[in-house]
């Protein structure tokens, strides 16, 4: 799940909320028969969604191929909630709130859920469970994250959200979009913390990062 994202000069504030609920109007497979992964919304929204989706690693795109831009998803119980991924179903993105961040975040959940139990347990072991603060609405504080293996404050909700936030953050950074979500908060990294290397190695092993991308990102997190 993903919620509202706002970016200002020098400030990136992101609000998130977590829900687990079914969708009122899922698109049918027939809507995507023409090979287009996006339905609903305006032409501009669909173009943005396609462009952002195309930037995701192929391994992530391959497990989250349907994007439905709609206001009729039951997961949208608050105006703060702008994105929701249904297990075994589409990503639902609220009309008028389509952003690259939500398009990158939700497929991260889908990819995490396809990992083996062993891999999920390995990921969950990277961050001390006592550091996760549970479900809720949280604000990313520029300069305070990454920390302790979490890439944003919302990554501190639980291991699943941390995974989706890492996928979104890496996609943003590697495609040069910048901003607080993409690079300005790197100054807070403790590069002597070994958890970051383990995380990057994990993403490389599971095809989220290529060898070349691993080499580009590693110096940001590892001495």
Q: What letters, b where the CB count within 10 A reaches 16 and e where it falls short, cover 95-121?
A: eebbbbbbbbbbbbbbbbeebeeeebe
Residue 55: pLDDT band by 50, 70, 90 thresholds? very high
Mean pLDDT over each residue of the chain, to the nearest integer: 79
Rounded to two decimals, the pTM is: 0.81
Helix 100-114 with 159-174: angle, nearest 10 deg: 130
List all residues 6 or more positions away from 117 whose beta carbon is below 8 Å from its beta carbon: none
pLDDT at 39: 86
């Amino acid at each position: 799940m993903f919620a509202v994202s706002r970016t200002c000069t020098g400030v990136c504030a992101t609000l998130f909320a977590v829900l687990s609920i079914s969708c009122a109007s899922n698109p049918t497979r027939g809507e995507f028969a023409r090979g287009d992964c996006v339905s609903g919304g305006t032409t501009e929204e669909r173009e943005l969604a396609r462009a952002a989706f195309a930037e995701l690693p192929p391994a992530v795109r391959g497990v989250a191929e349907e994007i439905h831009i709609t206001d009729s998803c039951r997961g949208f119980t608050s105006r703060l909630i702008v994105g929701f991924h249904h297990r075994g179903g589409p990503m639902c993105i609220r009309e008028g709130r389509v952003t690259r961040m939500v398009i990158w975040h939700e497929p991260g959940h889908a990819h995490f859920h396809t990992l083996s139990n062993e891999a999920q347990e390995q990921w969950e072991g990277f961050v001390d469970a006592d550091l996760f603060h549970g479900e809720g609405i949280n604000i990313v504080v520029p300069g305070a994250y990454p920390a302790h293996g979490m890439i944003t404050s919302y990554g501190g909700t639980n291991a699943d959200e941390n995974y989706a936030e890492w996928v979104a953050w890496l996609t943003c950074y590697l495609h040069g979009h910048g901003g607080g979500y993409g690079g300005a908060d790197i100054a807070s990294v403790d590069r002597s913390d070994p958890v970051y290397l383990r995380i990057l190695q994990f993403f490389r092993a599971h095809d989220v990062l290529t060898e070349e991308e691993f080499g580009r990102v590693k110096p940001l997190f590892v001495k």
